[in-house]
Structure 1
Amino acid sequence: MQVATRIIVAVALIMFTACSKKQSQSEEHSPEASLADLKVYDGLEVTLFASEPMFSNPTNMDIDARGRVWVCEAYNYRNQYNPKNPVKKEGDRIMILEDTDGDGKADNSKVFYQGTDINAALGICVLGNKVIVSCSPNVFVFTDENGDDVPDKKEILFQGIKGVQHDHAIHAFLFGPDGRLYFNMGNEGVLLVNAKGDTVRDVHGNKVVSNGKPYRDGMALRCNLDGSDVEVIGNNFRNNYELTVDPFGTVWQSDNDDDGNKATRINYVMEAGNFGYKDEMTGASWYKRRTNVEKEIPFRHWHLNDPGVVPNLLQTGAGSPTGITMYEGTMLPQIFQGQLIHAEPGHNVVRSYTITNDGAGYKAEIVNILEGQNDQWFRPADVTIAPDGSLFVADWYDPGVGGHQVADVDRGRIYRIAKPKAGYTISPSDVSTPEGAVQALISPNAATRYTGWNALASFGEQAEQSLAKLWTSENLRHRAQALWLLTRLPNKADIYLAQASADKESDIRIAAIRIAKLLKRDILPVAAKLANDSSAQVRREVALALCGNATPEAAALWTQLALQYNGNDRWYLEALGIGAAQTEDLYFNSWKQKVGKDWSTVPNRDIVWRSRSKNAMPLLAELIKSSDEREMLRYYRAFDFHKDPLKQTVLTQLVQQTQGDKVLYALKHMDASKLKMTPPVMTALNKVLEQYKGELQYVELVSLFKLQRHADDLLQIGIHYPDSVKGKEAIKALLDWDRTDLIDKILSSPNRDEGQAMIKALWPYMYDKKTIAIMEDVMMDTSKEMELRKLAVKTFGGPWESEDRLLLLAKEKKIPITLQAAAAGVFQTAWRATLREEAAKYLRLPGSKEGTSLPTVSILVDKTGDAAKGKAVFKTICSSCHRLNNEGVEFGPDLSEISDKLPKEAIYTAILYPDQGISFGYEGWRIKLADGSSAFGRIISETEDKIDVQYMNNSQTVLKENILSRTKLESSLMPSNLQAIMTEQELVDLVEYLSTLKK
């Protein structure tokens, strides 16, 4: 019997193996399989609420007061970058999913709206019969006037937003406890235009444009329900995907870093704060050199050492943060109540950030709620709270983190997290009475809170009794929700503001300050009452509220607040800086007069460092004189944030009054374009140039002061140190000065090493038309060596500007046949899939043994080879350079586990276009010897007196005393025409075999 069972099992396994890959993948990624893979927090249950084919690719969702889930689809998301994906010509959809029988599973699905104007919408907010849909370049308001779930009207709330089909653009709207709309847009949003077509000006008269005047990159904003009175409440974010607001009016959001820098973050959005993605004054990217730079990239990324940058609540490393919400319910365990809940598709997890007070700011710890254990397709894109307090999670469900290279457009799931066995029966709130409206106001569901708020606001004085009862309740968050409405009642604002500002709870006192600002009350009486508050967070809010108040009384209150700074609270320090932003001299002078000779105590040094008053600069100079080499960098960096002409005078004095590196940094922080070059400055500059000649500092000063008489020196630095920062910066200065004559001279010389060095030094600037033109000339010049021309072609990869130019040359059939394989390699490794597909139409791709061009890599990948035959091909062709399972020659990388490192597409690319990705340690070198000969190959060892060089299975030893020069090659040692000695089928078989090599 056991034998028979084994036979049946074996047959079943054979039959299963014979099934198609598609069927296997379908089962592996079925809704049932993905649900089974999820791990939920102890004491909770995760269930599948809805999945494909009801909808697909959910980007954002909201839940209405009836418990129905509204979902934005992104079937058509960035199909220009994903040409293989299908397209819905009718456009993407807004879906409504409903559970009609209360079992926790959607059984009804309907289309609210479909159109190409909402392709890949990234935000939805349901407010009664209105639905706000965010889809760059527009924010639409749909109105369903008769309740039939079909919009009767579509209006534009905002338009003109850049970043169309870009997830760094406009995001979801949210109704706040103050009755305003909160929203954000990332660094691609650029500007906001109203329905009339006018660029929006905010409440301070500033245009809402991310050009640094005054706002930069991503912004967090709020406005009235009709779009009026826009206010930028924070700026200089990168991809601040979504925000949320707590009952006290505190704003929280996530922000994504430049990919790969492990710097994603969660922000408390301090009002009017700068959050440091770009240099506040110049707009320079985080990787640009600056004085007092942070040691670690995740902190450097946000300019956290710069005065005027609000600190991060929490940095969460690598990731791709998306939807966020504040949990106001009680169904989830206590640890999540009143806390942030956040979707992190990059880590396949839904998290809570448990927030606690930290001085004038906050700190947070991560607690996971829902995790994908093995299924890496779990990509939570959004989180939303239902009226019963259960948590809903929208799962984009894709092998990538959604985004540009979305691979699956047909799947999508929505999960519900609740107490075990909890049904899902929602009874809409009755807001026909103030009592019922109050119950709606304190709902965990945002749409329900809106209906309650709206009804209570319309009741006016009739709502006071019910609201006053809530105001005196034990629940702090409910009290705050009542306070916002009570202070709107006729002639009652001052009464409730007085109560709130004297409340024992600091969060209520904070709300009182914010309400006073909203109601445009004279802030000074409230500020005077709370300026010595026991809570640093309350004092923080007082400082922020003083911003723009140019009265002596306000200056005195700011001084009072500044005197309480303890020297160890960056949140508090930044609040002081923001509070003084428009009245720097008035506030600083008041403080300086009060502290007198004690201005240089440890806490007061921070006040000087953070201040933008011109009168802080002489004090910065005094601190520099008395500081050590490390501490001085902090104070020198502070000068970069001052605009007053006094800066040049103070720095000039430092040049004359200090020694060593203090002189160097004084020169580096001058504005050379506005400097009067006096003899003492010129003398000091020449002395420093002589001291640092040939070093990076030399290049920086020559570039800063535009000393073109040193152009030849920069040229030599560039060609001798092309891989270093100083070499690349030296050549950049020549480009800025239009000294292309010097560059052309090197590229036209017979010295190929210098020519290669020049190309390498120019490479980082291929976004510039000038550099592109130089490389194009090299590429087309048949008198130049082929190796140099191929290297020039290679530089076109990376920046979109140069890639687009190379594609245009291909379309115009201007790329020589001898360089088409090199150009194809550039396109094959391009990030944009459409570029790869388009270029293949115009370029002659590498040829096979049969003499015909091979198909594109995307076609080769879909072919199935014979791994056994591929093993024979490997032994014949590849084993002379590569080892595999301890056999072969160790000249190229060991391929024993290549499939763990590279997918099929990358293996094909490595064979067909080896120059596009040279493995570390396997670079080629050309070594010139004193006797006129050369050594060529890979350096396998190096000692003080000799170098061992290997080429394939031959090696030689070179004494260093005989070496004239050595140059690292930018072309691979692997033959660039390896495919030409194989048939197409042999190549496919080889890759099939290599794709089986795993641990």
Structure 2
Amino acid sequence: MIRLSVPFLYTVPVALVTASLLFISDSLPTETIDRSAHPTFAKLPEKPSSAADETLYLAPELDATLWAETPMFYNPTSLDIDVKGRVWITESVNYRQFTNKAEGRLSHPNGERIVILEDTDGDGRADRSKVFVTDPELISPFGISVIGNKVYVSCSPNIVVYTDENGDDKPDRKEILLDGFGGLDHDHGLHALSPGPDGRYYVNVGDAGPHIVTDKDGWMLRAGSVYTGGSPYNRTNEGNQTSDDGRVWSGGLTLRINPDGSGMKVVGHNYRNSYETAMDSYGNQWQSDNNGDVANGISRTNWLLEGASLGAYGAKGTHTWQQDQRPGQSAALAQWHQEDPGVLPIGDQTGPGSPKGMTVYEDDFLGAPYRGMVLSTDAGRNALIGYRPSMSGAGYRLTPYPLLSTLPELPTDYKPGKAETDNRRWFRPNDVAIGTDGALYVTDWYDAVEGGHQMNDREGRGRIYRIVPRGKKLQNPRIDLQTTAGQINALLNPAVSVRAAGFAALAAQKEKAVAPVLALLSSLNPYHRSRAIYLLARLGAEGQFEVEKLLKSGDPRIRLVALRALRSITPENSTANPELTAGQQTLLPLLGNLSTDPDPAIRREVAIALRDVPYDECRRMLLNLVREYDGKDAFYLAALGQAADGKADALFADLRPTLPADPAEWNSRIANLVWEFRPVTAIPMLKKRAESKKLSAEDRKQAIVTLGFIGNPEAMSALTELATSTDKTTAEQATFWTKKTSAPTRQTPPPATETVAAAPVKTEEPVAPKPVSKPAEKVIAQAETTQVARSAEPKPVADRPVQDSSRSAVVLTEPTTAAPRPDVATSEPAKPEPAKVVAESTKVAVKEPYVLTIENRKKAPTTGTSRSALAGQLVFTTSCAKCHRYGTKGKDVGPDLTNIHQKLDREGLLKAITNPGAELTPGYEPWMIVTKPGQTYYGFIVAETGKNLTLRGITGQNHVLEVSEITSRRQHNRSLMPSSSTIGLTDQQLTDLIAYLNKE
């Protein structure tokens, strides 16, 4: 796992540099910054009144104050700044009341609120709070943008627009801009709507789909994944859905829309739960994401290539990373599918965390070194983090610099459970915005727990911090949007939404605004110049002519922004509608000129623009772009993959005459291109590479992976042959793909018997158990909390001895018969026969089969008790390893616990072990699947395509079922994991097990 290796602080010089050095479009300013010294943080001059013992740490040239706190507002989830410099807050007080019951905690029965905060006397602290709206239809909103007199609120399933016509801070009109988003009352649903520099809006949504959204033009998005759970409203979801552009988009998404809700397009997908896409004025997109796998969760912050997949799920959203993890592949690489073609490389991989709101700082109010910083809040790591991007080929790498925290350095083993006792961890920054004065405003959710859909705070506490340069007073400017000068001032303002209002007002003037906007190209601030270029493209033919001239600029960064600006006004075709638009016909010659540009970022942008252009219209351009690939630039290769999408075989046919006749002679550049493009006509050559003794194991594996991703019958035939190779690694890799894509087989159920089946317990072929008297659903419901005692030897169930009384075994005496496997049952009724069944997994009252026993243990039994990790290892081996992996031990049925100590401390581990049903790890929600032959399967859905569904049974065996054969499916909310008392762990054993898992 990659750790932060950067110091917590860096020195800020006082000298500024010339504007010529500052203007680096698509990069950071090039001023020299001395980071050789790293002073210790200074304590703030005042301690926040809501946390008297708390100290904030930040860079010495900055200052922070507690700008506002409860009761001026409650539970803040998102913020924005309006043209008057006021702060707008979305509250989420009624968050997940189906779990977080209103009794005993703050509740807003009339609905969630949007609150306006203001500093009226300019002393740097809010002194006025007013409620803009209380709306019963708002349930846990997670995003807000205030643009002019419109307030955009993101609240699944809707993007709501409130319009204040008369400026009285009350909505006069409410409209639904877009609806159909998944994630109602779920923090994996609809998130931020953020304006971009191109006059369009960018919307983020998590993976709690499906998202079936129709824009104002009638264009429909259909997107989903295998992720379900987290709320009673997220029961169904599926990947491999085709949108109206003819493409399959999966997981979380970034959408681009026009301000009126038309023109929707997916510009990034396959996230887990990204909260916000922050746009800088060059048109770069920045986002963060986290993987909630409890043991191996890895957060990341990325530059986003337009249209790219970020690899949270399999290519079509039908597989979890666990199912796609290949032999020998690390969890760190598998979680984000980093060794799969078509997936964008990660920018900064940071380990466990909970990143949320983002923005980009583009001015000098905090000092020159802060200009160009990507700012990201991370509630899990209790910090506001700044990232300095650096060009890496056609993309970016990111270097983190923590800017604000309640800890002197970032934790590398984040443990949210400790927050219950260490109030330094209660600092939960979840959004950041830039004021009209250039100050930073950071919201603090302020809770003992972060993540897992939980909240411990019952008072709705929250805070906002304001960060300014030390020793300077910043003031909000007066901006008049009714005049051209005021609109220009708004366009140049640090506050993102204020800029958007200025952009819209100037764009409405068309050619009248060309002269004042053109004058901005001489601005000392390069971000201001970039905003002007985007705006000029919207100012009619005269403005577009000026932008087109900039394509010939000697500065490659200006050329890039100009190209992006022209693309932003060009309607594009799609796979579903392949005919080129008139705008594309005009743009193609310009793209042709740039296809040989020496700058890889510009060629990357050309490649993106060619994605849906037919091959005969872009053949020469695409060959130019491929010729410039150096064999190393992963970002450029990903862009080429987009350009070649749907054209791979035609492109490979043109490339093939230039390749060595023997595929084993291909260099890494050629092999990488074939891996990314995956042409069907390369299958015989890939097979030869996989068989070649000349090549390294890694090169042979790459050929096998390419065959696996081609996945057609010819490729599968090649893989089947390779699976018989005498080379162990080749055979293992090929076998993985043949099993992963093998078709389901249906078996005839054997006749019922009076005893448990004689086959070993480990086999899980779909055989039918003896008919039972109770409906299958009730049998499976009991399987959530009781598991029939099983043996490899056939033996009447009633003859099994009852367990030791110290384990509180429950003997079931109601009429039933034993099923040989708890993940397969039958729904056919039959004559009942009484039997005594020993409940080996959980001890619950028979009358309440859905209720797990919650043990009367409130604190980890560690005080005054000796702990032995060695003894805990034995407990794990005997009690946990049948379902969980820890290092090299155990099975991959439940979540991998190897790095569980990075997510949970003793208290958190205690809760997870004694009450496993309190929180289900995403992807491990149990399902009951009934098929036409009368068989009922129980386990975890690990993949689903249009044809097949893969269900992992509770002993780890995967069942591949035909979707057409499924008659019903039902998700259950109870964990399959038995509690510690159920399996008879003593306090000492529990203490030792926690010590082992916690690596004590």
- How far, CA to CA, are the matches of 1:302 and 1:489 in structure 2? 41
**Which residue does the alignment assign to 1:560?**
624
Q: Check 1:443–1:492 CA distance in 2 against 1; reply closer, same or farther (3 A cut).
A: same
- Quick one: which amino acid aligns to residue 133 of structure 2? Y
**Which residue does the alignment assign to 1:294?**
329
What does residue range 51-62 of structure 1 map to in structure 2 within 5 Å? 51-62=69-80
What does residue range 436-835 of structure 1 map to in structure 2 within 5 Å? 436-492=486-542, 494-520=544-570, 521=583, 522=585, 523-595=587-659, 597=661, 600-626=666-692, 627-648=695-716, 650-651=718-719, 659-661=726-728, 664=731, 668=735, 700=739, 706=745, 727=762, 730-731=763-764, 734=765, 738-741=766-769, 772=783, 784-787=800-803, 822-823=842-843
**Which residue does the alignment assign to 1:878?**
none
- What is the aligned counterpart of 1:361 among 372, 391, 395? 395
**Which residue does the alignment assign to 1:405?**
454
- How far, CA to CA, are the matches of 2:872 and 2:608 in structure 1? 68
Contact 2:275 2:289 in 1 (8 A): yes
Q: Check 1:908–1:223 CA distance in 2 against 1; reply closer, same or farther (3 A cut).
A: closer
Contact 2:48 2:54 in 1 (8 A): no
Contact 2:537 2:566 in 1 (8 A): no
**Which residue does the alignment assign to 1:352?**
386
Number of equivalenced pairs: 770
Q: Check 1:95–1:890 CA distance in 2 against 1; reply closer, same or farther (3 A cut).
A: closer
Question: 1:334, CA displacement in angstroms?
Answer: 2.4
- How far, CA to CA, are the matches of 2:494 and 2:317 in structure 1? 43
- CA deviations on 1:937-996 (whole Å, 9 max, x unpaired) are xxxxxxxxxxxxxxxxxxxxxxxxxxxxxxxx99979995989xxxxxxxxxx9xxx9xx
Contact 2:811 2:836 in 1 (8 A): no
Write 1 or 2 for the structure with the bigger share of helix: 1
- CA deviations on 1:871-899 (whole Å, 9 max, x unpaired) are 9xx9xxxxxxx7589xx999999xxxxxx
- CA deviations on 1:306-347 (whole Å, 9 max, x unpaired) are 111111111111100100001122211322211210100111
Tell me the secondary structure at the aligned position of residue 465 of structure 1.
helix
- How far, CA to CA, are the matches of 1:323 and 1:670 in structure 2? 38
Question: 1:377, CA displacement in angstroms?
Answer: 0.6
**Which residue does the alignment assign to 1:109?**
129
Q: Check 1:167–1:281 CA distance in 2 against 1; reply closer, same or farther (3 A cut).
A: closer
Question: 1:550, CA displacement in angstroms?
Answer: 1.4
Q: Check 1:822–1:391 CA distance in 2 against 1; reply closer, same or farther (3 A cut).
A: same
**Which residue does the alignment assign to 2:340?**
306
**Which residue does the alignment assign to 2:169?**
149
- How far, CA to CA, are the matches of 2:321 and 2:68 in structure 1? 42
- CA deviations on 1:583-631 (whole Å, 9 max, x unpaired) are 2222222233455659822211111111132123233223223233343
- How far, CA to CA, are the matches of 1:889 and 1:230 in structure 2? 54
**Which residue does the alignment assign to 1:46?**
64
Tell me the secondary structure at the aligned position of residue 173 of structure 1.
strand
Q: Check 1:601–1:817 CA distance in 2 against 1; reply closer, same or farther (3 A cut).
A: closer
**Which residue does the alignment assign to 2:368?**
334
Find out whether 1:278 has 2:332 as its counterpart: no
Q: Check 1:397–1:640 CA distance in 2 against 1; reply closer, same or farther (3 A cut).
A: same
Find out whether 1:159 has 2:179 as its counterpart: yes
Find out whether 1:318 has 2:352 as its counterpart: yes
Contact 2:786 2:841 in 1 (8 A): no
- CA deviations on 1:618-653 (whole Å, 9 max, x unpaired) are 332232232333431221111222255443465577
Contact 1:184 1:241 in 2 (8 A): yes
Q: Check 1:312–1:970 CA distance in 2 against 1; reply closer, same or farther (3 A cut).
A: closer
Contact 1:383 1:393 in 2 (8 A): yes
- How far, CA to CA, are the matches of 1:708 and 1:663 in structure 2? 31
Question: 1:861, CA displacement in angstroms?
Answer: 5.0
Q: Check 1:487–1:135 CA distance in 2 against 1; reply closer, same or farther (3 A cut).
A: same
Identity between Structure 1 and Structure 2 (%): 32
Q: Check 1:621–1:371 CA distance in 2 against 1; reply closer, same or farther (3 A cut).
A: same
**Which residue does the alignment assign to 2:427?**
378
Q: Check 1:908–1:201 CA distance in 2 against 1; reply closer, same or farther (3 A cut).
A: closer
- How far, CA to CA, are the matches of 1:467 and 1:767 in structure 2? 70
| TM superposition score normalised by structure 2 | 0.68
- CA deviations on 1:263-289 (whole Å, 9 max, x unpaired) are 111121211111111111572111125
- Quick one: which amino acid aligns to residue 515 of structure 2? Q
- How far, CA to CA, are the matches of 2:782 and 2:701 in structure 1? 34
Tell me the secondary structure at the aligned position of residue 215 of structure 1.
coil
Question: 1:138, CA displacement in angstroms?
Answer: 1.4
- CA deviations on 1:249-275 (whole Å, 9 max, x unpaired) are 111111111243241111212111111
Q: Check 1:466–1:292 CA distance in 2 against 1; reply closer, same or farther (3 A cut).
A: farther
Tell me the secondary structure at the aligned position of residue 150 of structure 1.
coil
Tell me the secondary structure at the aligned position of residue 174 of structure 1.
strand
- How far, CA to CA, are the matches of 2:873 and 2:469 in structure 1? 59
- How far, CA to CA, are the matches of 1:702 and 1:164 in structure 2? 34
Contact 2:810 2:839 in 1 (8 A): no
- How far, CA to CA, are the matches of 1:307 and 1:118 in structure 2? 40
- How far, CA to CA, are the matches of 2:711 and 2:642 in structure 1? 17
- How far, CA to CA, are the matches of 2:670 and 2:343 in structure 1? 18
- CA deviations on 1:30-67 (whole Å, 9 max, x unpaired) are 73536851111121100011001111111111111111
- How far, CA to CA, are the matches of 2:239 and 2:718 in structure 1? 32
Q: Check 1:192–1:336 CA distance in 2 against 1; reply closer, same or farther (3 A cut).
A: farther
- How far, CA to CA, are the matches of 1:649 and 1:114 in structure 2? 62
Find out whether 1:429 has 2:472 as its counterpart: no
- How far, CA to CA, are the matches of 1:601 and 1:842 in structure 2? 60
- Quick one: which amino acid aligns to residue 85 of structure 1? R
- Quick one: which amino acid aligns to residue 50 of structure 1? A
**Which residue does the alignment assign to 1:945?**
none
Question: 1:473, CA displacement in angstroms?
Answer: 3.2
What does residue range 27-42 of structure 1 map to in structure 2 within 5 Å? 31-33=49-51, 36-42=54-60
**Which residue does the alignment assign to 2:12?**
none
Q: Check 1:423–1:643 CA distance in 2 against 1; reply closer, same or farther (3 A cut).
A: same
- What is the aligned counterpart of 2:279 among 230, 242, 245? 245
- How far, CA to CA, are the matches of 2:873 and 2:612 in structure 1? 69
Find out whether 1:183 has 2:203 as its counterpart: yes
Q: Which runs of 5+ in 2 are unaligned?
A: 1-45, 224-236, 243-247, 408-422, 571-582, 752-756, 791-795, 813-821, 826-833, 877-903, 920-976
Q: Check 1:787–1:531 CA distance in 2 against 1; reply closer, same or farther (3 A cut).
A: farther
- What is the aligned counterpart of 2:259 among 225, 228, 231? 225
| TM superposition score normalised by structure 1 | 0.69
Q: Check 1:787–1:218 CA distance in 2 against 1; reply closer, same or farther (3 A cut).
A: farther
Tell me the secondary structure at the aligned position of residue 351 of structure 1.
strand
Tell me the secondary structure at the aligned position of residue 321 of structure 2.
coil
Tell me the secondary structure at the aligned position of residue 248 of structure 1.
coil
- How far, CA to CA, are the matches of 2:318 and 2:912 in structure 1? 40
Question: 1:530, CA displacement in angstroms?
Answer: 1.6
**Which residue does the alignment assign to 2:303?**
268
- Specify the structure having the higher radius of gyration (Cα): 1
Question: 1:292, CA displacement in angstroms?
Answer: 6.1
- How far, CA to CA, are the matches of 2:483 and 2:515 in structure 1? 12
Q: Which has the higher contact order (CA 8 A, sep 6+)?
A: 2
Q: Which deviates further from its counterpart, 643-652 or 571-580? A: 643-652
- Quick one: which amino acid aligns to residue 560 of structure 1? N
